[in-house]
Structures are given as C-alpha cells and as structure tokens.
Amino acid sequence: METGEVGSVGAADTRGKHRISAQLKRLEQEFRFLEEELEQLEKMEKASAACKEMLINIETRPEPLLPVTIGPINPMWDRWFEGPQESTKCRCWIL
C-alpha cells in the first residue's frame, strides 16, 4: 500500500509542477505583451498634440456632404429671419 500512495503523490507532484510551470509561462507572455505595449506608447505622440492636429485638419476642410455657398441662395428667404430693420415701423406684438 505504501508504494501506491507514494506513486500517487509523485503523480500529483508532477501535475502541480506542470500547472505552476504553465502559469509562469502565461505570466511571462503577459509581461512581454505589456512591455511591447509600453514601448509602443512611449513612441507615440502626446495625445493632446495629436488631437489638436486632428482638430485643425477637420476645421480647415469643408464638409463634403454640404454644398459650399458664399451667401444665401435666395436672399428673399433671409428677410423672414432678420427681423425688422426699424422698430418704429414694426407693429407686431412679439418684437
């Protein structure tokens, strides 16, 4: 009986060593991955500088889906939104 018990302890011991070895390898891989990611972050520009550059590019380019107009297409249309030129001639109660 003692030899059977010793054999089962030896088998359990090798499984424990294998499990610990596998966990150690996984941690080493994760460590290498984090080191690579840190190196990439150090090589990148500062986020604020990149955001400022992107904002400048966006602000200087016209919107591709909107038509480019210098003034109103129909000048008579704007008179409805400008309000009265002289308040003495206006007889509406809102203004």
Residue 74 lies inside a defined structural domain of this protein: no
Report how many domains make up the chain: 1
Cα–Cα distance measured from residue 36 to residue 39, given in angstroms and rounded to the nearest whole number? 5
3-state secondary structure of 65: coil
Instruction: State the pTM of this model.
Output: 0.38
Residue 26 lies inside a defined structural domain of this protein: yes
Q: Six-digit token pair at 95?
A: 């203004």
14-72 pLDDT tens trace? 788 899 999 999 999 999 999 999 998 888 777 778 788 888 888 888 777 777 766 66
Helix segments in the chain, DSSP class H = 2-43, 47-60, 75-82
- Containing structural domain, residue 38: 2-67
Residue 89 lies inside a defined structural domain of this protein: no
Residue 39 lies inside a defined structural domain of this protein: yes
